[in-house]
Amino acid sequence: MSSIHLQNLVKKFGEFTALKTMDLVIEDGEFMALLGPSGCGKSTTMNMIAGIEEPTSGRILFGDRDMAGVPMGGRGVGFVFQNYAIFTHMTVRQNLAYGLRMRGLAKSEIERKVSAIAELLQLSPLLDRKADRLSVNILQRVAIGRSAIMEPAIFLLDEPLSNVDAAFRAVMRTELKHLQRQFRQTMVYVTHDQLEAMTMADRIAVMDHGVLQQVGTPLEVYNHPANVFVARFIGAPGMNLLKGRPAERDRGLVIDLGRLGATQPLPPALAASLRNHGREVLYGFRPEQTLLSAEGRGLRMPVDFVERIGARTIVHLGRDETAVKAVFENDVKLGEAVTVSPAEASVRIFDAATGTAIRAE
Amino acid sequence: MAEIAFRNVTKRYGDLVAVDDVSFTVEDNEFFCFFGPPLSGKSTILRLILGLETPDRGEVLIGGKPVNDVSPAGRNVAMVFQNLALFPHMTAAENVRFPLVERRVPAPEIGRRLAEVSEKLHIGHILHKPPAQLSGGERQRVAIARALVRDPAAYLMDDPISALDARLREETRVELKRIQRDLGKTLIYVTHDQEEAMSVADRMAILEGGGIRQIGTPVEIYDRPASAYVARLLGSPTMNILPGTHAGSAFEAADGAIRVADAPAGAMEIGVRPENLRVEPWTEDKQGRPVKVFEVEPLGGYTVVTLESGQSRLRALMRGQPDIRTETMVALSCDPARVHFFGQSGGALGR
């Protein structure tokens, strides 16, 4: 069994607490992304799983085996870093074969495995090239291949794609996911890029300031963020959040957006949860689920800025506290001001004081 | 006036032609982006504008005047800090002042410039604080203020925000663009991130091997790429470009999964943007032939679907969270008005 159990895991560096009491179970064969901004504790967590760092307190189990005191080499994990470690004086073939040779595998067996992994990572035509003649993109592919060929039960990747170019990153995302699906290793993937986490992971553990914020499938964290941090961090752009207060109107409970001078209706289930809330809330909705309404109800806002990025147009409306972003198709025509409204089913409400999501009853 | 132009500029390093007969005009107050893969000539062009290199042939003009013989100091263009990180031991004000102090600008002038840039960037009230006490957004504005505190005719920036986290990059690029508009200055920008280039640039030049392949607004280049090379550089996922065959006046690619009734003579490849590829569940009454779903990547607001047809892989970008499963069969179609054709040498063909 190569499940990974993090139990009450804490890591301090002197006064600084890098990780506060983390509990997480990564299932056997699961692709888990540890996602968060710089300094959130994701790499520290990864390093403890790998055995590079010792926990200050708490336990790490692989299956039912406690990893306390087990050195990195004894854990049976494969590790790929942001900065690939490749022997530049060797060919791609020699790099891929290196670990298996150290392990003393038969030559024919090594050859078979090298050509299989090269095929999978599209390295076959490059097998006899010297590594020092290859691009960063290809080197990272070799680094991944060199770790994957050892068929580790647990595969750890720390920002492996941050140095490769954007087009290649998109290709590698698909390939990495496919590789994991084929070998069914337990994969832990550290990234600050929500796009990588969303596209590859079975589940995402979102972290901030050493605290695990939410664990869920990509669509769970996107559709039902546990708090405002997750709501803002997941999505491109993140969720819009406007200050408001629940208020009783003829048409039922609404959110009064105060400074924006608008009241927004609520789906009935959410209205029920908010009936006795009274306190200030954050009214959340996704830029991609924001509709342009020709007239009538909605938020009338000045167009501040328009980014047309290929297929999408990101429209920035208003400024500062009342800023809202909307994502439209690329052929949208805009005036100086527009009226937008969120698709009702996409509305999410958070407690303004605690930042915690208020769920529909 | 800070119009910057190249007329047939060539720069060689030994046998390597780093910049190959390049001509362009960056208008006054324009946000102009150079975009291309490594070693395509971006950095050499910046060095030629700055005066750190002299062209072997052709002319560099700033404000309409030839400057081939003008020293870097005499050109009044500023290269901006590569990294927008702040010095942690200095206050915001000290950070902003730094480039001027370093250049021994007189104290009253420093005070005047600091006041001016702080007002434009709305950071006057936080100038006394060290970076640790600033929010992420405030830190960005201070860093940009530091970058812009000098008052040259034009700024040059070489991949200034590449070191930031993905989320911070998305916000900073918008901030940069806003500030450039407020300041009304010519800004020449180099980036390796196509999304960033499309977001900020008024116009952009696409480079390959030292030559300019296309100049235009991001929208023009995205919608009407001059070649398959240019088409591949912009867009994420990248454009599907597939070799195909003529069948009468029709054109077929990806084992017949893509079929367009009318193609120009000489077409070798067909290009379809992922967002222009329609994916629907396969039913018997569909045209063409079914293809297999290889991978489904949910982005939340969009879904990327990778499809396999014969030897070809195609990507489709679908809005929302459609219920499509891997290993199932789907039907592909595309609007013939939204496909591109490329000829023998990769050039785009008119219809």
Examine the domain organization and report whether B245 and B222 are in the same domain: no
**Closest CA–CA distance from residue A105 to any residue of chain B (Å):** 33
Rounded alpha-carbon distances, angstroms, from residue B91 to B119, B149, B175? 17, 15, 21
The reported pLDDT for the residue numbered B351 is 64
The reported pLDDT for the residue numbered A285 is 96
Beta bridge partners of A34: A190, A205
Task: List the single residue in A174, A236, A308 with the smallest CB-CB distance to B170.
Answer: A236
Provide the pLDDT confidence category of residue A261 given band limits of 50, 70 and 90. confident
pLDDT over 90 percentage in chain A: 60
Which residues of chain B does A199 touch, with a Cβ-Cβ cutoff of 8 Å?
A: 297-299, 304
Q: Which residue of A has its CA nearest to B193?
A: A166
Q: Quote the DSSP letter at residue B85.
A: P
B3 three-state secondary structure: coil
The reported pLDDT for the residue numbered B321 is 94
Which residues of chain A does B219 touch, with a Cβ-Cβ cutoff of 8 Å?
A: 308, 330
Is the CB of B199 inside 8 Å of chain A's CB atoms? yes
The reported pLDDT for the residue numbered B159 is 82
Examine the domain organization and report whether B29 and B154 are in the same domain: yes
Task: List the single residue in B234, B294, B295 with the smallest CB-CB distance to A310.
Answer: B234
pLDDT tens digits along A280-333? 999 999 999 999 887 667 899 999 889 999 889 999 999 878 899 999 987 777
Domain chopping of chain A, boundaries? 4-227, 240-358
**Closest CA–CA distance from residue B193 to any residue of chain A (Å):** 7
Buried residues in B126-136 as b, exposed as e (16+ CB within 10 A): bbebebeebee
d(CA A131, CA A85): 11
Mean local confidence (pLDDT), B91-103: 90
Provide the pLDDT confidence category of residue A46 given band limits of 50, 70 and 90. very high
d(CA B168, CA B84): 11
A93 three-state secondary structure: helix
Examine the domain organization and report whether B199 and B255 are in the same domain: no
Residue B177: CATH number of its domain: 3.40.50.300
Is the CB of B195 inside 8 Å of chain A's CB atoms? yes
CB within 8 Å: A173 and B297: yes
CB within 8 Å: A219 and B297: no
A91 three-state secondary structure: strand
Examine the domain organization and report whether B62 and B124 are in the same domain: yes
Cα B304–Cα A38–Cα B163 angle in degrees, nearest 5: 75
The reported pLDDT for the residue numbered B81 is 54
Examine the domain organization and report whether B175 and B219 are in the same domain: yes
Task: List the single residue in B298, B304, B317 with the smallest CB-CB distance to A218.
Answer: B298
Mean local confidence (pLDDT), A175-193: 89
pLDDT tens digits along A110-152? 999 999 999 888 899 999 999 888 888 888 889 889 988 988 8
Examine the domain organization and report whether B250 and B216 are in the same domain: no
Mean local confidence (pLDDT), B72-80: 82
Q: Is the pLDDT of residue B12 over 90?
A: yes
| Residue B78 contacts residue B150 (beta carbons within 8 Å) | yes
Which residues of chain A does B273 touch, with a Cβ-Cβ cutoff of 8 Å?
A: 310-311
Report ipTM (2 d.p.).
0.85
Which residues are CB-neighbours of B314 under 8 A, at least 6 positions away?
B240, B242, B254, B257, B258, B272, B274, B277, B291, B306, B307, B332
Q: Is the pLDDT of residue A88 over 80?
A: yes
CB within 8 Å: B195 and A219: no
Which residues of chain B does A237 touch, with a Cβ-Cβ cutoff of 8 Å?
A: 170
Last residue of a domain, one of B179, B197, B226: B226
Which of B174, B202, B317, B335 is the best substitution to test chain A (most A C-beta atoms within 10 A)? B174
Residue B289: CATH number of its domain: 2.40.50.140
pLDDT tens digits along B284-341? 888 778 999 998 999 999 999 999 998 889 999 999 999 999 999 999 999 999 999 9
Which residues of chain B does A311 touch, with a Cβ-Cβ cutoff of 8 Å?
A: 235, 273-275, 317
DSSP string, B270-336: EEE-GGGEEEEE--TT-SS--EEEEEEEE-SSEEEEEEEETTEEEEEEEES-----TT-EEEEEE-G
Strand B77-79 relative to strand A312-317: parallel, antiparallel, unpaired? unpaired
Provide the pLDDT confidence category of residue A252 given band limits of 50, 70 and 90. confident
- Most confident range (mean pLDDT) of A206-220, B31-45, B166-180, B183-197 is A206-220
The reported pLDDT for the residue numbered A196 is 93
Provide the pLDDT confidence category of residue B242 given band limits of 50, 70 and 90. very high
Q: Which residue of A has its CA nearest to B320?
A: A288
Instruction: With residue A305 as reference, give the H or E element that holds it.
Output: strand A299-309
Provide the pLDDT confidence category of residue A1 given band limits of 50, 70 and 90. low
Q: How many CB atoms lie within 10 A of CB B208?
A: 17
Last residue of a domain, one of B226, B257, B282: B226
**Closest CA–CA distance from residue A291 to any residue of chain B (Å):** 13
Q: Is the pLDDT of residue A6 over 80?
A: yes
The reported pLDDT for the residue numbered A64 is 93
Q: Enter the tokens of residue A317.
A: 């409306």
Q: Which residue of B has its CA nearest to A178?
A: B295
User: What is Dmax (Cα atoms) for chain A?
Assistant: 80
d(CA B147, CA B39): 26
Q: Enter the tokens of residue B317.
A: 């970008």
**Closest CA–CA distance from residue A347 to any residue of chain B (Å):** 14
Question: pTM for this structure?
Answer: 0.88
CATH number given to A240-358:
2.40.50.140
B335 located within any domain = yes
The reported pLDDT for the residue numbered B286 is 82
CB within 8 Å: B165 and A235: no
Which residues are CB-neighbours of A128 under 8 A, at least 6 positions away?
A91, A92, A93
Examine the domain organization and report whether B222 and B265 are in the same domain: no
Task: List the single residue in A218, A233, A305 with the smallest CB-CB distance to B167.
Answer: A233
The reported pLDDT for the residue numbered A319 is 81
Which residues of chain B does A316 touch, with a Cβ-Cβ cutoff of 8 Å?
A: 174
Mean local confidence (pLDDT), A168-190: 87
Please determine, looking at this structure, whether the domain spanning A4-227 carries the CATH number 3.40.50.300: yes
Q: Is the pLDDT of residue B209 over 90?
A: yes
pLDDT over 70 percentage in chain B: 97
Mean local confidence (pLDDT), B221-248: 94
The reported pLDDT for the residue numbered A213 is 98
CB within 8 Å: A310 and B165: no
pLDDT tens digits along B102-130? 888 999 999 999 998 888 778 889 999 99
Phi, psi for B176 (deg, rounded to 5): -60, -45
Is the CB of B167 inside 8 Å of chain A's CB atoms? yes
Domain that holds residue B339: 240-349
Residue (of B145, B85, B93, B144) closest to B117 by Cα position? B145
Average pLDDT, chain B: 90
Chain A residues bordering chain B (beta-carbon distance below 8 Å): 37-38, 165-167, 170, 173-174, 177-178, 192-195, 198-200, 218-219, 222-223, 233-238, 286-289, 305, 307-312, 314, 316, 327, 329-330
Total domains in the fold of chain B = 2
Residue (of B239, B233, B238) closest to B218 by Cα position? B233
Higher model confidence: residue A311 or residue B203?
A: B203
The reported pLDDT for the residue numbered A165 is 74
- Most confident range (mean pLDDT) of A58-67, A73-82, A165-174, A247-256 is A58-67
Q: Which residue of B has its CA nearest to A37?
A: B165
d(CA A337, CA A339): 7
Is the CB of B137 inside 8 Å of chain A's CB atoms? no
Stretch 281-320 of chain B: residues touching chain A, C-beta under 8 Å: 294-295, 297-302, 304, 306, 317, 319-320
**Closest CA–CA distance from residue B213 to any residue of chain A (Å):** 19
Q: Is the pLDDT of residue B252 over 60?
A: yes
Size of interface A-B (CB pairs under 8 A): 103
Provide the pLDDT confidence category of residue A84 given band limits of 50, 70 and 90. low
Which residues of chain B does A329 touch, with a Cβ-Cβ cutoff of 8 Å?
A: 319
Q: Enter the tokens of residue B37.
A: 């893969």
Stretch 84-123 of chain B: residues touching chain A, C-beta under 8 Å: none
d(CA B86, CA A159): 24
CB within 8 Å: A166 and B295: no
Is the CB of B325 inside 8 Å of chain A's CB atoms? no
Is the CB of B174 inside 8 Å of chain A's CB atoms? yes
The reported pLDDT for the residue numbered B287 is 75
Examine the domain organization and report whether B217 and B274 are in the same domain: no
Mean local confidence (pLDDT), A273-285: 90
CB within 8 Å: B297 and A223: no
Provide the pLDDT confidence category of residue A24 given band limits of 50, 70 and 90. very high
B46 located within any domain = yes
Q: Is the pLDDT of residue B150 over 80?
A: no
What contacts 24+ positions apart, CB below 8 Å, involve B194-197? B194/A166, B194/A167, B194/B35, B194/B233, B194/B234, B194/B235, B194/B236, B195/A166, B195/A309, B195/A310, B195/B236, B196/B161, B196/B169, B197/B33, B197/B35, B197/B234
Which residues of chain A does B237 touch, with a Cβ-Cβ cutoff of 8 Å?
A: 170
CB within 8 Å: B238 and A222: no
Provide the pLDDT confidence category of residue A86 given band limits of 50, 70 and 90. confident
d(CA B299, CA A279): 33
Q: Is the pLDDT of residue A34 over 90?
A: yes
| Residue A304 contacts residue A316 (beta carbons within 8 Å) | yes
Last residue of a domain, one of B166, B193, B226: B226
Task: List the single residue in A165, A170, A308 with the smallest CB-CB distance to B192.
Answer: A165
Sheet holding A299-309, edge to edge: A290-292, A337-342, A299-309, A312-317, A324-329
